[in-house]
Amino acid sequence: MKRQPLSRNFYLDEFTRSQTAARHGIDMTVAPGSEVYRNLKLLAELALQPARDALGPIFISSGYRPVALNRAIGGSSTSAHVHGLAADIAVSGHSPLEVARWFEASGIAFDQVIHEFGQWVHVGIVPEGQVPRQQLLTAARVKGRTAYLYGIHSMAEAIRRAG
């Protein structure tokens, strides 16, 4: 099957790949021209392609999450992933902290960038016509709970601040 490009280096299948969905038989089909498709295309063009151009190849560990998938993984029902407006990414050769800091300085009109547990970076946008919050957060596990701090911090710093 021919791959559906969303931007110069990103393809639709990178955003719809999920082991959990496969295991649960969850349909990950995104119809070209649908709202989710348009959101994923905007995400790729606006936020991910500039990062790819600057930092190198990007691995998307989670992109689109239909409601059933989001429920299966215990994600928030209001997650931007449900609408195809967010991706969790990793960039080889760059730590998640470096990637989050790159977005912070990028000037990209993201809605949320979250440095998550020192493991990946969540990049979220808003649909065309809405005003992005440009929110920067760090998520850390502190005493068995997830703490969210404003700003991009190293895990050591986040744990020190939240503890």
DSSP state of 46: I
Pick out residues in 76-105 that bind Zn ion (CB under 5 A): 86, 88
Identify which of 4, 103, 85 has the alpha carbon closest to the alpha carbon of residue 43: 85
- Report, in Å, the least distance between residue 117 CB and Zn ion: 11
Maximum Cα interatomic distance, the chain, rounded to a whole number of Å: 50
Task: Decide whether 69 or 86 has the Cβ nearer to Zn ion.
Answer: 86
The tokens 């719809």 sit on which residue?
Answer: 16
Query: Would you count residue 65 as binding Zn ion (CB under 5 A)?
Result: no
Query: Would you count residue 122 as binding Zn ion (CB under 5 A)?
Result: yes
Q: Compute φ and ψ for 142, nearest 5 degrees.
A: -130, 120
Chain centre distance of CA 128: 17
- Report, in Å, the least distance between residue 145 CB and Zn ion: 18
- Report, in Å, the least distance between residue 62 CB and Zn ion: 6
- Report, in Å, the least distance between residue 92 CB and Zn ion: 19
**In the complex, which residues of this chain contact Zn ion (CB under 5 A)?**
86, 88, 122
